Structure 1
Amino acid sequence: MAQQTTLAGLRARLRLPLIAAPMFLVSGIELVSTACANGVIGAFPTVNCRTPDELDGWLREIEARLARVAEATGEAVAPVCPNLIVHRSNARLQDDLAVLLRHRPELVITSVGSPAPVIRPLHDAGAIVLADVASIRHAERAVEAGADGLVLLTAGAGGQTGWLNPFAFVRAVRSFFAGPIVLAGGISDGVALRAAEVLGCDLAYMGTKFIATRESVADDRYKAMLVDSSADDILLTSAFTGLPTSMLKPSVVAAGLDPEALPARGAIEIGSDIDIGAREARPKRWRDVWSAGHATSGVTDIPTVAALIARTVDEYRRAGQPSGAAR
């Protein structure tokens, strides 16, 4: 397949078959550009930028930084990968798409809906389109729509998550799709990344561990909470988004909410305050109540992005040796 050849060309520029996952209100210029400069695909949601003009500015700044790195090292850097929210509720979709078409990114991830409306213009601009899917039926539809690759959102991913076991999901999709597969959910180190390849994946997301890096724009309290938490502290709930979402239970408690008695599905709406009893302002999802995935158990410190990637490279290499490195 043509897209496999193209992906193989990109893979030659990577130190790891890894994407620093696009994370709402977490992935910024520093995290993305540093990841790319260190051989990992740097992704970010376009809605992290307040306006399409700001998105244009972000891309120009990231491109300039990476050009300087490439010139200084004489080596190609990893690609930057914008993430388009294609759901009809995203009023900026067409404007953000227009910005991407001007910048001609090598990779684009689509989320929360069918990629069909954006595939042709992105292909015309030379982009590989990876569609974020959470079920086998969604995967089938994305392939029918012309997606080049699939991001399989599996149980344990941070934020809005899938429910399928990653082993079952990947093998089911591999039965009808030979193109690029990206595993999203539970990748906490290089050993897990190596296992994802054995399972049949071309790439994987790492999200939660990148939240707790110095370059992340996440709140410092958020980063510290990740260090202090484990997978046992991840709460799966539909209260904040209307969809199953992995949230940090300690942040729910800190917000004055009872994790065992959360409101009905989607009752805590974005951009609104919740009154419980007295008229006190209630925290908002994402900004005050934080998400994380099962990989939280692997977060033990707050390193630089470069240090995290170097550590993961070492784990990945050792895991590929005959004796393995899973202990």
Structure 2
Amino acid sequence: MSADLLARFRDRLRLPLIAAPMFLVSGVELAVAACRNGVIGSFPTVNCRETEQLDAWLGDIERRLQAHADANGKAAAPICPNLIVHRSNARLQQDLAVLLRHKVELVITSVGSPAPVLAPLHDAGALVFADVASIRHAERAVAAGADGLVLLTAGAGGQTGWLNPFVFVRAVRGFFDGPIVLAGGISDGHALRAAQALGCDLAYMGTKFIATRESMADARYKQMLVDSSADDILLTTAFTGLQTNMLRPSIEAAGLDPDDLPARGAIDIGKDIDIGARESRPKRWRDIWSGGHSTSGVTGVLGVDDLVAQTVAEYEAASARVQLA
């Protein structure tokens, strides 16, 4: 396996970057804006209420990106749906069928082994990247036949890993020479360039894309990211049962004490506090919001055009500095 797998769309990228797939945040507008700016656009398929909506989303994205290509004489960056492969995803096979029908170029699998979807996606010509949070999981994904790995490192927003990115990337490079994507702490073009120097081919940027005008996030969520810093990120298992980085101010706004949360996996946190009717109980993701350590880099709510232009300038400055060293 080789990083040359990316050659098929490298000339369509303005940056070696993926706008991370984020639950209830990444939608058509954000994905299209990222792709037409030369950044791989992504979204979890479960952001669509049903499989029929997923089909409509992909059709809309394809039409808009084709119009962009026709107008500019160059194909946009690829769209990259994110499939939850855990058994709890009852729509997995139906959503997979839609991705195959649309002939997507790249798919990211999450929350489990990519093995069940690898053969049909490979047969359709798609690359499959598996996100992993430990060295053991990375080894298993490689053994299953994943084309690339997304390394969830300490500092990534939402459900995350705990390993230091320097250690994680170098350990995986010891047994895998295919594409590696670094997830966690990519707040600007300088960090993106550093990820490449470390041995990564691509990186996720998530938190800063939440605070864009094109994201589906609540306006209060976006402003909270602007007002917060890395010190406001809390790593907890209370809301999902897995290690998850959440915004402390959102926990407080929901009437909970960030320093006195349920021990693990409180699916309906309304059961643990008395805050009235069931429909008013705060819910993870809807009312209690995630963020990564790169929250410190969010200084305003931008359009994707401006965010990418800013990141390009930072990346080029960092690259120039490396060349002078």
Q: Shorter-chain TM-score: what band? A: over 0.9
Q: 2:276 aligns with which of 242, 258, 279?
A: 279
| Structure 2 counterpart of 1:162 | 161
> Which consecutive residues of structure 2, in runs of 5 or more, have no partner in the other structure?
none
Give the Cα–Cα distance (whole angstroms) in 2 for the partners of residues 232 and 275 of structure 1.
Answer: 25
| Structure 1 counterpart of 2:68 | 69
Is residue 2:4 matched to residue 1:26?
A: no
- Write the mapping of 1:1-327 to structure 2, written as runs, cut at 5 A: 1=1, 4-269=3-268, 273-274=270-271, 276-277=273-274, 279-280=276-277, 281-322=280-321
Closer, same or farther: CA 278–159 of 1 in aligned 2, 3 Å: closer
SS at match of 1:322: helix
- Give how far 1:275 is off: 5.4
- Give how far 1:276 is off: 2.0
SS at match of 1:162: coil
Q: Is this contact kept in 2: 1:275–1:282, CA < 8 A? A: no
Q: Deviations for 1:1-54, whole angstroms, at most 9, x for unmatched residues?
A: 3x6333123111100000000000000100000100000000100000000000
- Give how far 1:268 is off: 3.6
> Which consecutive residues of structure 1, in runs of 5 or more, have no partner in the other structure?
none
Closer, same or farther: CA 36–278 of 1 in aligned 2, 3 Å: closer
Give the Cα–Cα distance (whole angstroms) in 2 for the partners of residues 322 and 210 of structure 1.
Answer: 26
**What is the CA RMSD across the aligned residues, in angstroms?**
1.3
SS at match of 1:83: strand
Give the Cα–Cα distance (whole angstroms) in 2 for the partners of residues 322 and 311 of structure 1.
Answer: 17
Q: Percent identity?
A: 74
Give the Cα–Cα distance (whole angstroms) in 2 for the partners of residues 41 and 279 of structure 1.
Answer: 43
Give the Cα–Cα distance (whole angstroms) in 2 for the partners of residues 100 and 277 of structure 1.
Answer: 43
TM-score w.r.t. structure 2 length?
Answer: 0.97
Q: Deviations for 1:97-124, whole angstroms, at most 9, x for unmatched residues?
A: 0110101100000000000000000000
Give the Cα–Cα distance (whole angstroms) in 1 for the partners of residues 105 and 154 of structure 2.
Answer: 28
Closer, same or farther: CA 62–278 of 1 in aligned 2, 3 Å: closer
Q: Deviations for 1:158-199, whole angstroms, at most 9, x for unmatched residues?
A: 000100000000000000000000000000000000000000
- Give how far 1:274 is off: 3.1
Give the Cα–Cα distance (whole angstroms) in 1 for the partners of residues 275 and 302 of structure 2.
Answer: 41
Give, as a single letter, the amino acid of the residue that structure 1 aligns with 2:26: S
Q: Is this contact kept in 2: 1:274–1:283, CA < 8 A? A: no
